[in-house]
Structure 1
Amino acid sequence: MTRTSAKARAVAAPVIRGLTVLNALYALGLAALLVWSFFIDGWPQRPLGFETANAHPLLGHGLRAIIVVGLIGAAIVQSILRRLLAIVDTVRVGDPFILDNARRLDVIAWSVAALEGLRLVVAAIAATVWEAGQIDAFSFAPWLSVLLLFVLAGVFAHGAQMRADLEGTV
């Protein structure tokens, strides 16, 4: 093992814990904004500082819908971070090739796919309430990441099976 990978392992858990806290704060901020938006006169024109009601009458509803999608996304990210921390913990104790990690990676892959789906939903909402054609919605990179996560889950499952077979022969 290289010194770089040992250092990365050492900082992974604290970084993931920090991201978990930041994600929770993000979700709380979104929830507060959503609630606050119902009590602001002239939402969203007044807080944003420009008049858009005439040009985009559905903007306020669209922004609230995007906030709700953001809350759903934050919950999904929280789930990903929790599973990632569990995987890092198994790496730290020297036992990463277990079936639980394969399942965790599988769930993470589906979660990343769901996040990408939510991004498309946000783009659709924005195109509906703002200006169609102004939002670039599709990117190949996240979908390739999803495929990579599914492959990695398969690698972990295969590694766990090989380890179980080896332990059975000893």
Structure 2
Amino acid sequence: MTTRQSDPLLAAAKVLTVLLQFLIIFAMVAIGIGIGVLVSVGKARVFAEMAKAGAPDAAFPLLIVSFVLIMVMLGMANRFFKELTGIVNSVGEGDPFRIDNADRLTRMGWISVGIHGLALLLVGLASWFAVYLEKAGHHADLGFDVEITGVLLTLILFILARVFRRGAEMREELEGTV
């Protein structure tokens, strides 16, 4: 049982997930290069700015940690979209209610939990840095906010994982009785 190959919604989902994965990898590479530049040629300038603002010596390593956290979050987002691609492909094959899709949804839920947890840590670091940015005369509105939609997405993923798992089990039971 397969769906029409010309389904525009599935085609758009496939293109979008691949495009997002490409953009995420591009951003990770750019941030990695930025970290390299910051650690090598930009270190003296950053230390001078931090000293002017009265930041402790631990600020520079924490700045690097912040960028690494962003890279980890992007890597997790990339994995999230790879899992989503697997689900989209199974829908295109006409067989979405499978155990592996339930497992994918569960992994997506845990990835979402991880991203939100790291985001909270990053918000804490950003708030700490904001004090020193203001002292150095830089605008420090970092625009971080925790939204309920992310929490709801996480809950929905875990619930859908259970729905998909039960659907797959029911289909297996039905096939076993026929």
- TM-score over 0.5 for the pair: yes
Specify whether residues 92 and 38 from structure 1 end up closer, same or farther in structure 2 by C-alpha distance, changes over 3 A only.
same
The corresponding residue for 1:38 is: 39
Q: How far does residue 128 in structure 1 lie from its aligned partner after superposition?
A: 2.0
The corresponding residue for 1:54 is: 52
Q: How far does residue 10 in structure 1 lie from its aligned partner after superposition?
A: 1.8
The corresponding residue for 2:70 is: 70
Of structures 1 and 2, the one with the larger relative CO (CA 8 A, separation 6+) is 2
Cα distance in 2, alignment partners of residues 146 and 25 from structure 1: 25
Cα distance in 1, alignment partners of residues 119 and 84 from structure 2: 21
The corresponding residue for 1:48 is: none
The corresponding residue for 2:138 is: none
The corresponding residue for 1:15 is: 16
Specify whether residues 115 and 54 from structure 1 end up closer, same or farther in structure 2 by C-alpha distance, changes over 3 A only.
same
Specify whether residues 56 and 64 from structure 1 end up closer, same or farther in structure 2 by C-alpha distance, changes over 3 A only.
farther
The corresponding residue for 2:156 is: 148
Alignment of 1:83-122 (within 5 A): 83-122=83-122
Q: CA RMSD in A?
A: 2.1
Letter in 2 for 1:65: V
Cα distance in 1, alignment partners of residues 13 and 54 from structure 2: 44
Cα distance in 2, alignment partners of residues 62 and 56 from structure 1: 15
Cα distance in 2, alignment partners of residues 98 and 28 from structure 1: 35
Give TM-score, length-normalised by structure 1. 0.84
Cα distance in 2, alignment partners of residues 80 and 9 from structure 1: 17
SS in 2 for 1:54: helix
SS in 2 for 1:96: coil
Q: How far does residue 14 in structure 1 lie from its aligned partner after superposition?
A: 1.4
Q: Which runs of 4+ in 1 moved over 4 A?
A: 134-137
Q: How far does residue 73 in structure 1 lie from its aligned partner after superposition?
A: 0.7
Unaligned runs of at least 5 residues, structure 2? 1-6, 133-140
